[in-house]
Structures are given as structure tokens and as C-alpha cells.
């Protein structure tokens, strides 16, 4: 993260109502944790919301909410400042809320997900694959469902990669199993 942390802290005031004072996320607001995520990915997503490459599908209600907020961010320097501030916040292991078969999830993850997202779900910038470990499990389930339905990924090339991969986890149970395994990797 290359932005000015103190500027980012001031800008973050608009984010904390949904994402929490420490970036911990607020499930009741449908806002995931922002900590535990790679700065490059946070920047890419904020710019995608701001530039209309994410959250534009009529059925992406939560994405549309982010578009409305992201368009108020002045420019890329402000995005960099926000990302720098979020990156300065302490990481936290999210609470597990999704139940699944961890062993089956590990098998699926190793076969389907790990080659892009990393063996420990740490993400891989070279493959444009974000970290999954440490991301709220309820959020991962919801995003996978949005990819599966083509609601997320319709407007950006990175999302289209996941739309194409979604059939690799054909059932809701498979998704819960993989997400339950990913939660065991969170620190």
C-alpha cells in the first residue's frame, strides 16, 4: 500500500458504518471484513466499483451499494490512501459461521482452487487471485453464488474467470465444504 495512511484514516470514516471501525466487517450490514486482504486486491476492487466494472448487475444489490459509495472517492490517490489505512489495521481471524465437511473441502480446494488462490488460500497476485483465508466465510459463500449465477463477474475480466470456474463446485454443499476448509487456514 503506497498511499498516505493519515489521509486514508480520514476517508475511512465513510466506510466504518458498514465495514466497522477496524475493518472487521459487519455481517448485519452485509459488509465483509476488509482486513486480511491484499492491498492490491482492495485497490482493484475499489476502482472496479468506482469505474463501473463491478456492482452494475441489476441483481447485485450489495455491489450497487458499494458503487454508490465508491463513486464518492475523489481519485486513485484517495483509493491508495484508503487502502494504506486499511492495510495498517490489525488482521483478525474471522468467526466461522458456515458448517461443512472440512476434509471434503480440503480435497476440493486442493483440486480446484489452490492452483490459483495458493495452497494456503493466501492469494496470488501474478494470477490475479485474491486471498481467501481470513475472508468472512458467509461472504465467500455469497460471492461464489453470485459468480455461479453470473451476477458477479459480468462486467470485469477477473470476475469472468470465476464465472467460468464456478461449475467446478456444483452444489451448495461443495461450496460450504470448501469455505469451511478455507476458514481453517485463517490466522
Give the tens place of pLDDT for each residue, 44-72. Answer: 999 999 999 999 999 999 999 999 999 99
Which letter, b or e, does each residue of 74-84 get, where b requires 16 or more Cβ atoms within 10 Å of its Cβ? eeeebbbbbbb
159 and 107 co-located in one domain: yes
Q: Which of 56, 88, 120 is the last residue of a domain?
A: 88
User: Each residue of 109-149: pLDDT tens digit?
Assistant: 999 999 999 999 999 999 999 999 999 999 999 999 999 99
pLDDT class of 186 with cuts at 50, 70, 90: confident
Q: Which of 59, 88, 117 is the last residue of a domain?
A: 88
Tell me whether residue 74 is in a domain.
yes
Q: Is 103 helix (H, G, I), strand (E, B) or coil?
A: helix
Give the Cα separation of 9 and 22 in Å (integer): 10
Range of the domain at 157: 102-184
Inter-CA distances, 7 with 2, 84, 86, 111, Å = 12, 9, 11, 42
78 and 107 co-located in one domain: no
18 and 82 co-located in one domain: yes
Give the Cα separation of 15 and 161 in Å (integer): 28
The pLDDT of residue 1:
60
Q: Where are the alpha helices (DSSP H) in 13-156?
A: 16-19, 39-50, 61-70, 76-88, 102-108, 114-117, 137-148
16 and 68 co-located in one domain: yes
Asked if 83 and 39 touch (Cβ cutoff 8 Å), the reply is: yes
Q: Which of 88, 120, 152 is the last residue of a domain?
A: 88
Domain count, the chain: 2
179 and 107 co-located in one domain: yes
Give the Cα separation of 44 and 63 in Å (integer): 14
pTM of the model: 0.94
Give the Cα separation of 151 and 145 in Å (integer): 9
What percent of the chain has a predicted confidence (pLDDT) above 90?
92
* CATH value at residue 174: 1.10.760.10
Amino acid at each position: 500500500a503506497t498511499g498516505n495512511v493519515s489521509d486514508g484514516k480520514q476517508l475511512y470514516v465513510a466506510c466504518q458504518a458498514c465495514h466497522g471501525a477496524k475493518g472487521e466487517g459487519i455481517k448485519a450490514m452485509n459488509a465483509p471484513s476488509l482486513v486480511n486482504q491484499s492491498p492490491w486486491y482492495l485497490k482493484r476492487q475499489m476502482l472496479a466499483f468506482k469505474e463501473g466494472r463491478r456492482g452494475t448487475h441489476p441483481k447485485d444489490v450489495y455491489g450497487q451499494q458499494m458503487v454508490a459509495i465508491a463513486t464518492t472517492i475523489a481519485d486513485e490517490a484517495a483509493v491508495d490512501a484508503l487502502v494504506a489505512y486499511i492495510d495498517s489495521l490489525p488482521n483478525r481471524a474471522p468467526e466461522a459461521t458456515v458448517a461443512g465437511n472440512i476434509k471434503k473441502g480440503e480435497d476440493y480446494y486442493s483440486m480446484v482452487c489452490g492452483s490459483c488462490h495458493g495452497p494456503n488460500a493466501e492469494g496470488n497476485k501474478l494470477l490475479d487471485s485474491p486471498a481467501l483465508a481470513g475472508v468472512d466465510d458467509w461472504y465467500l459463500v455469497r460471492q461464489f453464488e453470485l459468480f455461479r449465477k453470473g451476477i458477479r463477474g459480468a462486467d470485469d475480466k477477473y470476475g469472468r474467470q470465476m464465472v467460468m470456474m464456478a461449475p467446478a463446485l456444483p452444489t451448495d454443499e461443495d461450496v460450504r465444504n470448501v469455505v469451511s476448509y478455507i476458514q481453517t487456514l485463517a490466522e
